[in-house]
Structure 1
Amino acid sequence: MCGIIACRTAESAADYLRIGLRRLEYRGYDSVGVAIQTATGDIARVRTIERIDTLDRLLADWSGPAFAGAGLGHTRWATHGSVTESNAHPHNDCEDRISLVHNGIIDNADTLRASLTIAGHSFDSDVDSEVLCHLIEDRLQLCGDLFEAVRLALVEVEGSWGLAVLERGTGRIVVAANRCPLLVAHTPDGAFATSDIAAIADWVDEFRVLEDGDIVDLVSPPRWSRQEGIGASLPPVHRCAWRSTDAELNGYADHMAKEIDEQAELVSGALDSYGSRIADGSLWAEYGMEPFERLHVVGCGTSLNAGRVIANLVRRLGGIPVRCSTASEVADEIAEPGTLSLAISQSGETTDVLRALETPAVCETPMLALTNSAHSALARRADAVMLCGAGPEIGVAATKTFICQIVAGTALMISALVGMGRLTRAAAVDLVDDLRYLPDRLGHAGVKAKCVVPRIAEEISSASGMIFIARGNGIPYAAEGALKVKELTYCWAEHHSAGELKHGPLALIGVGTVVIVVDNDDPRLRANIAEVQSRGGRIVSIGRYADSTVQVASIPSAPWGPIESTVPLQILARSMAMSLGRDVDKPRNLAKSVTVE
């Protein structure tokens, strides 16, 4: 969601902040702002509820004192308070001595606001983040040191935060984190802090990730503290794998189109990296996890859809009971003996998933994380981590991360079943051989879809909504197809088990109603399609049959289901959105990393 960048550099901080904020655009935002120290020592604050292009113009037109080398930047996705300039970050204290940017939620904000108001503080916004600014101001008046003021203030705060504070005059920047991502790096260009490595990848080779309770003064060497006391040991150094070229379009019209086309190559690379370790059980053995008798999949949105594919495979191949839970609804569930919890999150910072880790149903079991971020909060809290290896995904609506989650999870679970004696090596070898053809089948599906789908999308884009149906292991793909249409077109789209049509959803079918069929060769689908056609519904089918609207080469018996249908479904959603004039890379109201409940 919200993005933070802070820097102390020898040159103008504005130059770094503008680039960094561009790199954070993919996370989604509805306002953007900066606070920059000027040559006179004051802090210039520039905010807008428009796009970063507007911020660039405002900075270019700046007529005040020259910008110095210390500054903060922030992209906000509104949660507390409406989208207004006064609610945009950075926030200032009463005397404009400090500016602050914040990600997260302050649970006791109302109580703190009331006590600070009584103490004489005046608030300019409706957001919980401004409370931090005045609380730090209050402590700064007592102790006179920004670092100590931040530490003392946070003792009273309940909730989550990734924050950065800039002090007028000194240009000092202090950052802190608790249950929100934040990392720091010191380079020849200067000292940086950010919630997302993408923001500073142009200048950084190595970085450190703050742990919960960490407070850091961006001096060199850094002054590092944890809430337990000054002088905490530094977290380990990580290498930066993101490069600015990852955010380039390379001739594509948008990132979504580029990332759809990357899927086949990514799957091929992943399978090459796993090699023979899938079929002999050694891939699973590397994670050091105990055998399990049940599997509990926890996730949200696209990640949960991927988890359902993995769950179906484990149930079918291993005969293991599985349960799939929406992360935000796990609180009342009960832990079962012999369970492995599989928590899935693209960013590894999804708050609903992180909160689920604290519930008995998950925290009382061994927990394996499947994520695209090795340094995320989810990865740090898990007993073991499987990386999906999708690389940077700029488009807000997940595409390649869905496929990569499925492939990574499938490889690991096949290996686990072999290691636990629930699947023979010979059977695993056959499955891996089938997986080896997947890149070609994904490429074939893309070629076919690009020829057929745009015309269909143009014809059905005026529909007020549509229904996606499937059977068995095709249902998670129908769910993902419906989700993509909702995300990108802003039209309603529902998915149903085809067998449930007669139990209610048929009431929605009339003349011209669009019904997308994800066909996994289940013979029962033919009767369901006839039900729709007899009521005048328009069928768009994706499958192997010659009469399918979009033909894909698939393996009907594959335990991972009709994964090839994913590509036409993605292209359908993108094509419909394009015909409606939507921004496919930045859908409204959505964020790449959902860091609030």
Structure 2
Amino acid sequence: MGLRRLEYRGYDSVGMALRTTGGDIARLRTTGRIGALEALLDDWAGPRFDGAGIGHTRWATHGAVTEGNAHPHVDCAGQISLVHNGIVENAASLRAELDRAGHTFVTTVDSEVLCHLIEDERRRGTDLVRALQNALARVHGSWALAVLEQGSGRIIVAAKGSPLVVGHTAEGDFAASDIAAIADWVDEYRVLGDGDIVELARPDSWRRGGIVIPPPALTRCPWRGRDVELNGYTDYMAKEIDEQPEAAARVLDELADGIANGALWEQLNLPPFERLRVIGCGTSLNAGNVLANLARRLGGVPTTTVSGSEAAQEVPDTAQLVVAMSQSGETADVLRGVQTGAVGISPVLALTNNPQSTLARLADAVVGSSAGPEIGVAATKTFICQVISAAALMISALVGMNRVSARSAAALVDDLRRVPDQLAAASAVAKCVIPPLVDQFAAEAGFIFIGRGLGLPYAAEGALKLKELTYRWAEHYPAGELKHGPLALVGVGTPVIVIDNGDPKLAGNVAEVRARGGHVITVGCAGGAIPVVDDPAAPWGPIAATVPLQILARTMALALGRDVDKPRNLAKSVTVE
């Protein structure tokens, strides 16, 4: 059940190591889905299991997708079973050293190195906890891992740079990389910090740097497993698209009272800023570009946005605020980005759907996006909630720094409160008009998305959704850039999706497309192919256009036979660089 709750994060193999009543360890692995693992358990004819075990859904980085490379991994003697989320950066040198020492490797996976390092320590008579500590001292990289020892049945967990939580209950002791996996059993949990090592059945054994420390404070589990049931929907993406009006209203209920009076900004206790730098990846970077546009338009704040993986190339600005955006708060590239020279000594504000995440702990302040659990790999409601919480944050900050008047901010809050209804109306329209469009264009090899100004981040998000779900190429461009190269892609019938936010120059760009035979699909103003009710002057841009773009991507993906909840090669929470 716990591993099934993690299916949404994406994986290509899955396995478990379970202790039997006879003290042996049974290892069951498959490159199939969780159902295939359940079938292996149903067919198990050996001794009964005693309740101790570890499991992992792997997303391949080192080594091909094979049953042999699936977790858990074992040492030479089969005494140590281990599951590992993260990356061992010096795996090659450690493997060579262990080879020379006589260890036998059976996989090409970096995680197997950890088993043999622990085995070396145990051969010296070192206690399991100390053995793990000594082994990890030789490793460069990141990890959330669990070790199961055959003879004793002890389970030791450790974390560095990758999320891991533990919960101790009357029903047992649990550890997981995502609270979703154990939410059915755990009311409260603790989060491991970097370098923490804990014996699962002994919460008093919390160690950091070899020293026993008091366990961190308990965190209340915010939801239960039933919160992520399909509830009659055919897929999670459909459910989460429909949840967007309610999610948007929830974010506004939490934040709106602190916008026009600057209280939301003031309670963060951050210094005033003259420049803004936004760090994000994927959908979060698109939401970050919405935030950047708003900061420029409303407050005249010079703003840059950068992908987390490229942040190390940046030079810090003086008097800047860094806003790091990540839905999970565990995105490895964003976490590294906030630790680079792009940040320097600047304060970092985390905008995340997980206030207990690693990013939240690294940041100087946190604003939640309160989207609730999102299971579909392709972000939907988390994008909408990020945009709304980012808009609330920036308007409040501009009020607090006297760049926007309280009266103007109050009018903007009124506009924000109309967003949930706009999203619902856009959804109703899209569900009627998009299926015929999909019938017309499902066979097309690729799509172009264009927009201008405030509409451009939504064009980027629409293209991202389409390529994620359909596996067709989909590119976005500033509409004014068409004649500087991308227009060469437009031929007779090429579908070009236009995010129409009322920019007067957009009509000329659309005419350029039509003159070359391109098929224009306008999302936005009345009279377009997909009309939505929106405020073209809103500084957060045409947010309601997001919904038809999501529905377009989902509907086309289903027509092509794709799995819209689990697109190939993608993971929900990208915890390795």
Common fold: TM-score over 0.5:
yes
Question: Contact (CA 8 Å) 2:204, 2:215: kept in 1 or not?
Answer: no
Instruction: Tell whether 2:129 aligns with 1:160.
Output: no
- 152, 156, 160: which is aligned to 1:170? 152
- Three-state SS of the structure 2 residue aligned to 1:204 is coil
Q: Deviations over 1:93-112 (max 9, x none)?
A: 10111100001111111111
The structural deviation recorded for 1:67 is 1.0
Instruction: Tell whether 2:125 aligns with 1:135.
Output: no
Matches within 5 A, 1:492-511: 492-511=473-492
Residue identity matched to 1:575: T
- 27, 33, 37: which is aligned to 1:55? 37
- Three-state SS of the structure 2 residue aligned to 1:331 is helix
- Three-state SS of the structure 1 residue aligned to 2:118 is helix
Counterpart-to-counterpart distance in 2, 1:185 and 1:492 = 43
- Three-state SS of the structure 2 residue aligned to 1:79 is coil
Instruction: Tell whether 2:288 aligns with 1:294.
Output: no
Counterpart-to-counterpart distance in 1, 2:132 and 2:507 = 65
Q: Which residue in 1 is equivalent to 2:337?
A: 356
Residue identity matched to 1:466: F
Q: Which residue in 1 is equivalent to 2:541?
A: 561
Matches within 5 A, 1:131-530: 131-227=113-209, 229-530=210-511
The structural deviation recorded for 1:223 is 1.3
The structural deviation recorded for 1:183 is 0.8
Q: Deviations over 1:261-297 (max 9, x none)?
A: 1111111121122233100101110100110000000
- Three-state SS of the structure 2 residue aligned to 1:102 is strand
Q: With the length of structure 2 as denominator, give the TM-score of the two structures.
A: 0.99
- 73, 91, 94: which is aligned to 1:91? 73
Q: With the length of structure 1 as denominator, give the TM-score of the two structures.
A: 0.96
Counterpart-to-counterpart distance in 2, 1:56 and 1:348 = 31
Counterpart-to-counterpart distance in 2, 1:524 and 1:587 = 36
- Three-state SS of the structure 1 residue aligned to 2:245 is helix
Aligned residues: 577
- Three-state SS of the structure 1 residue aligned to 2:61 is coil
Residue identity matched to 1:136: I
The structural deviation recorded for 1:511 is 0.4
Gaps of at least 5 residues in structure 1 are: 1-18
Counterpart-to-counterpart distance in 2, 1:143 and 1:295 = 54
Counterpart-to-counterpart distance in 1, 2:202 and 2:54 = 18
- Three-state SS of the structure 1 residue aligned to 2:314 is coil
Question: Contact (CA 8 Å) 2:250, 2:370: kept in 1 or not?
Answer: no
The structural deviation recorded for 1:144 is 4.2
Instruction: Tell whether 2:552 aligns with 1:577.
Output: no
Q: Kindly report structure 1 stretches of 4+ aligned residues shifted beyond 2 Å.
A: none
The structural deviation recorded for 1:322 is 0.3
Counterpart-to-counterpart distance in 1, 2:363 and 2:474 = 34
Q: Deviations over 1:116-168 (max 9, x none)?
A: 11111000000110000000011011124211211111111111111100011
Instruction: Tell whether 2:535 aligns with 1:550.
Output: no
Residue identity matched to 1:515: V
Counterpart-to-counterpart distance in 1, 2:290 and 2:438 = 26
The structural deviation recorded for 1:545 is 2.4
Question: Contact (CA 8 Å) 2:330, 2:359: kept in 1 or not?
Answer: yes
Q: Deviations over 1:527-569 (max 9, x none)?
A: 11111111111111011222x0011011111100000000000
Question: Contact (CA 8 Å) 2:204, 2:214: kept in 1 or not?
Answer: no
Counterpart-to-counterpart distance in 1, 2:202 and 2:95 = 34
- Three-state SS of the structure 2 residue aligned to 1:70 is strand
Residue identity matched to 1:181: P
Question: Contact (CA 8 Å) 2:332, 2:575: kept in 1 or not?
Answer: yes
Matches within 5 A, 1:117-136: 117-136=99-118
Counterpart-to-counterpart distance in 1, 2:29 and 2:404 = 58
Q: 1:595 to 1:427 in 2, by over 3 A?
A: same
- Three-state SS of the structure 2 residue aligned to 1:105 is strand
Residue identity matched to 2:170: P
Counterpart-to-counterpart distance in 2, 1:443 and 1:317 = 27
Residue identity matched to 1:549: A
Question: Contact (CA 8 Å) 1:197, 1:242: kept in 2 or not?
Answer: no
- 522, 531, 546: which is aligned to 1:541? 522
Q: Deviations over 1:470-490 (max 9, x none)?
A: 011000000000000000000
Question: Contact (CA 8 Å) 2:203, 2:215: kept in 1 or not?
Answer: no
Counterpart-to-counterpart distance in 1, 2:106 and 2:347 = 46
Gaps of at least 5 residues in structure 2 are: none
Question: Contact (CA 8 Å) 1:386, 1:408: kept in 2 or not?
Answer: yes
Question: Contact (CA 8 Å) 2:184, 2:224: kept in 1 or not?
Answer: yes
Question: Contact (CA 8 Å) 1:458, 1:575: kept in 2 or not?
Answer: no
- Three-state SS of the structure 1 residue aligned to 2:293 is helix
Instruction: Tell whether 2:570 aligns with 1:593.
Output: no
Question: Contact (CA 8 Å) 1:23, 1:199: kept in 2 or not?
Answer: yes
Q: Which residue in 1 is equivalent to 2:18?
A: 36
When the two chains are superposed, the root-mean-square deviation of aligned CA atoms in Å is 0.8
The structural deviation recorded for 1:231 is 1.1
Residue identity matched to 1:110: A
Counterpart-to-counterpart distance in 1, 2:230 and 2:199 = 36
